[in-house]
A and B are shown apart, each in its own frame.
Chain A
């Protein structure tokens, strides 16, 4: 009985190893630099299927196809910008993790700054009002008896 269990376990582990080996698709990189460039580029691109994963990380079928596509374009000597342009033309800016700066995205880029400015205005108005009212602000005693 024990022997059978052990054999099953070994078989299972071997099979798991095989499945895992199939999951990694070895792309025939010419050299290490090319591989680094590929990893860097696919890390900046979003997988359309699992939208919180990059092309590099995703195991989705489409991500695999797109990785192959990116790889082949690299082989044809396309630059990173050209490859990105190619994908943006098909899948819109959404494929880029970094949204480009253009009129459509001004609010996205500068919105936080606007909110900060808005807050600053509110604070400035409040301070000025307090100063004009001239009421010396009585600071409450720090020790108000609360025993924390």
Chain B
């Protein structure tokens, strides 16, 4: 028994390391959990991409849930995510609000013309000031905001068909259920 002790110790270490590797394949270690989940979304009032004279605010969007999707023409992962939004964006059943982050409006327009525009509406945050309130640290990021303006779910990184089917659609369905 005593002679096997080092072997068991070794196996314990192997199990620990194996668990660590498995865990990191399931989770992105760079993900920072947002403290804003189930808290009111920060107030914002940002110009529209197609018509900068008009603004969209948090107050003007109250009453219906929407998915705020942070993107930029300079963001490589956003281009990766884009085909998914083009294909599945309309399946969400809620407004897909594009949040153009730290981008030149002309670049953003060209980018949307080239890749297609899955968004119901696009707002622009050129300075990135409002994005700090949202805790954005890298595009793409998506926030599910309910009819009362509360952030219910956040996804960091590109939305994939799998994430949409397994996380986002159930979260949206839950919102629909609680709505009167």
Q: Interface of A with B (CB < 8 Å)?
A: 48-49, 51, 61-62, 65-66, 69, 88-92, 94
Within 8 Å CB of B138, what residues of A? 48-49, 62
Total contacting residues, chain B, CB less than 8 A: 16
Given A49-B138, A91-B135: A65 and B32 within 8 A (CB)? Answer: no
Partner of B32, one of A48, A61, A69, A89: A48
**Cβ of B32 and Cβ of A92 under 8 Å apart?**
yes
Residues of B within 8 Å of A49, CB to CB, are 137-138
Identify B134's interface contact among A66, A69, A90, A92, CB under 8 A.
A90
A62-B128, A69-B132 are known contacts. Are A88 and B35 too (CB-CB below 8 A)? yes
Given the known interface contacts A48-B137, A48-B138, A61-B102, the answer about A94 and B132 at a Cβ–Cβ threshold of 8 Å is: no
Known: A49-B137, A51-B30, A66-B132. A90 touches B35 (CB 8 A): yes
CB within 8 A of A90: which of B30, B33, B36, B127?
A: B36
Besides the contacts A69-B129, A91-B35, what 5 more A-B pairs have beta carbons closer than 8 Å? A48-B138, A61-B128, A62-B128, A90-B35, A91-B137
Q: From known contacts A48-B137, A48-B138, A61-B102, infer whether A92 and B34 are also in contact, taking CB-CB under 8 Å.
A: yes
B104 within 8 A of A: no
Question: Taking CB as reference atom, which chain B residue is nearest A46?
Answer: B32
CB of B133 within 8 Å of the partner chain: yes
Tell me which residues across on chain A come within 8 A of B137, comparing CB atoms. 48-49, 62, 91
Return the chain A residue nearest B138 by Cβ. Answer: A49
Complex CA gap A66/B135 in Å reads 11
Q: A62's closest neighbor in chain B, by CB?
A: B137
Is the beta-carbon distance between A89 and B35 smaller than 8 angstroms?
A: yes
In the assembled complex, the Cα of A98 lies from the Cα of B87 at a distance in Å of 43
Residues in chain A near residue B134, CB distance under 8 A: 90
Cross-interface CB contact of A92 among B30, B35, B127, B132, cutoff 8 Å: B35
Partner of B33, one of A62, A89, A92: A92
Distance of A146 from chain B, by nearest CB (Å): 21
Question: What is the chain B residue whose CB lies nearest that of A47?
Answer: B137
Which residue of A49, A61, A91, A92 has the most chain B CB atoms within 10 A of its CB atom?
Answer: A91
Contact A94 B36 (CB under 8 A): no
How many angstroms between the C-alpha atoms of A89 and B30 in the bound complex? 18
Residue pair A91, B102 in contact (C-beta under 8 Å): no
Distance A89 CA – B41 CA, assembled complex (angstroms): 12
- Do B128 and A65 touch across chains, with their CB atoms under 8 A apart? yes
The distance from the CB of A5 to the nearest CB of chain B, in whole angstroms, is: 35
Is the beta-carbon distance between B128 and A90 smaller than 8 angstroms?
no
| Residues in chain B near residue A92, CB distance under 8 A | 32-35, 135
